[in-house]
Structure 1
């Protein structure tokens, strides 16, 4: 199927998801929280899908050195987009782009639906908005692959490389007293994603740094943080329900 078909389908899914979120938020707080928790836990599936796409590549692909975006390039060949002077051929590009898109969408859904679980303070509200921005940024990278429009693919992806760090810092400030376990989990993941971002900035100086691996760590630390945070929030809800029942 053509790129236009997949892009159109992604836009339809986005509009449907927005409507569904609105309806769920209006009807059932318990259901909305459950959907939000599942959305963030489902992010762990990304790693399995990426491995499948890499195994299917018809041209050599370097997990350590090539960016994740190469797996979503829709055409096979050399110079498929600016800066890609090497050969790219990813037959499962459609699967990778849908994974980028749905990963971002699930992050956004979780940010919206799980907002009632955070302390009612300004830092948590700002952090939640930044997490939503991260999700939108990531989703757009699936809608606009690098070879379709490198400028917009890159421009819209840039916020998703940075906003997660202030989001995680603000969340940790908001929860350090009420949720100590999630607080320390957030601190660890913040250190990892910040170190990866700083290392990427240093690539022009230290050319031997594995850019592809650093990019994966940058994003993977956020997926893992969100998955672990969702599990922690779920555990807290179960514990509170048991205390009320006893």
Structure 2
């Protein structure tokens, strides 16, 4: 593995350690809010990477992982009989890696906004897995280690669904509007996942677009949710949360 990808692993581990260590510190709240808001730039970066490809990239058909493939050729991984050439693959893989990190930081940092119960603890744990899954797809590009890339990516296609459902159920009394908003991307990401399962049998389904809806709907939920929580609470969140002792992660 190249030193760059080893460096990605080191940064991920450090981020996990720091996030867990400072999970009850007041700065973690603000960092968590900023982390989820930053997800709004993901598809802007992807657009830049797509524009730099030197072989035709079919946005509606090809998976996002193709943009992180490190070589220019046909058959670069078992699911790519077509040509791939993404000169900005390193930018894409760093984006995958940091996207996973900010998802994790946001999930842990904003956990205390949710009611203190087992449902929200499980939901936060699932969102951490979701972030790690996305992170792995950048650390192990499909052409370098297809098995780890695929196995690492699979949980991130599923775990966000129960996580959002559990959060929606937990906050429907205290934050009914946010709960309703939570169910919207839950329906979108679930529908996309179901349709992706049928893609091998229905060839005209736009797999690339469905994958982007699968992830993008959750990114949108995280971004909007962070903005709502920020506006709802403002800078008084620190005093309120620590005075009331709301829901530490562990």
Range class of TM-score, shorter chain: over 0.9
Deviation at 1:23, TM superposition (A): 4.7
Q: TM-score, normalised by structure 1?
A: 0.93
Q: What residue in structure 1 maps to residue 248 of structure 2? A: none
Q: What residue in structure 2 maps to residue 170 of structure 1? A: 166
Q: Distance in 1 between matches of 2:168 and 2:100?
A: 22
- Please tell me the root mean square deviation across aligned C-alpha atoms, in Å: 1.5
Q: Which of 35, 38, 43 is the aligned partner of 2:39?
A: 43
Deviation at 1:84, TM superposition (A): 0.7
The 5 A counterparts of 1:59-74 are: 59-74=55-70
Q: Does the CA-based 8 Å contact 2:23-2:108 persist in structure 1?
A: no
Residues paired across the two proteins, number: 238
Q: Distance in 2 between matches of 1:19 and 1:155?
A: 23
Q: What residue in structure 1 maps to residue 54 of structure 2? A: 58
Q: What residue in structure 1 maps to residue 83 of structure 2? A: 87
Structure 1 gaps of 5+ residues are: none
Deviation at 1:120, TM superposition (A): 0.4
User: Does structure 1 residue 204 correspond to structure 2 residue 227?
Assistant: no
Deviation at 1:166, TM superposition (A): 0.5
Q: Distance in 1 between matches of 2:199 and 2:15?
A: 38
Q: What residue in structure 2 maps to residue 15 of structure 1? A: 13
Task: Give every structure 1 segment of 4 or more consecutive aligned residues whose post-TM-superposition deviation is greater than 6 Å.
Answer: none
Deviation at 1:205, TM superposition (A): 2.4
Q: Distance in 1 between matches of 2:148 and 2:21?
A: 32
User: Does structure 1 residue 235 correspond to structure 2 residue 228?
Assistant: no
Report the 3-state secondary structure (helix = DSSP H, G, I; strand = E; otherwise coil) of the residue aligned with 1:25.
coil
Query: Could you say if the C-alpha distance between residues 13 and 175 of structure 1 is closer, same or farther in structure 2, counting changes exceeding 3 Å?
Result: same
Q: What residue in structure 2 maps to residue 112 of structure 1? A: 108
Deviation at 1:217, TM superposition (A): 0.5
Q: Distance in 2 between matches of 1:20 and 1:152?
A: 25
Report the 3-state secondary structure (helix = DSSP H, G, I; strand = E; otherwise coil) of the residue aligned with 1:14.
helix
Q: What residue in structure 2 maps to residue 103 of structure 1? A: 99
Deviation at 1:13, TM superposition (A): 1.2
Structure 2 gaps of 5+ residues are: 241-250
Deviation at 1:122, TM superposition (A): 1.2
User: Does structure 1 residue 138 correspond to structure 2 residue 134?
Assistant: yes
Q: Distance in 2 between matches of 1:213 and 1:113?
A: 30
Q: Distance in 1 between matches of 2:183 and 2:20?
A: 32
- How big is each residue's C-alpha offset from its partner over 1:14-69, in whole Å with a ceiling of 9 and x where there is no partner? 2332343245335x32x110000100000111011000000000100000000000
Q: Distance in 2 between matches of 1:223 and 1:14?
A: 19
- How big is each residue's C-alpha offset from its partner over 1:162-214, in whole Å with a ceiling of 9 and x where there is no partner? 00001010010000010112111101111111111111111122211000000
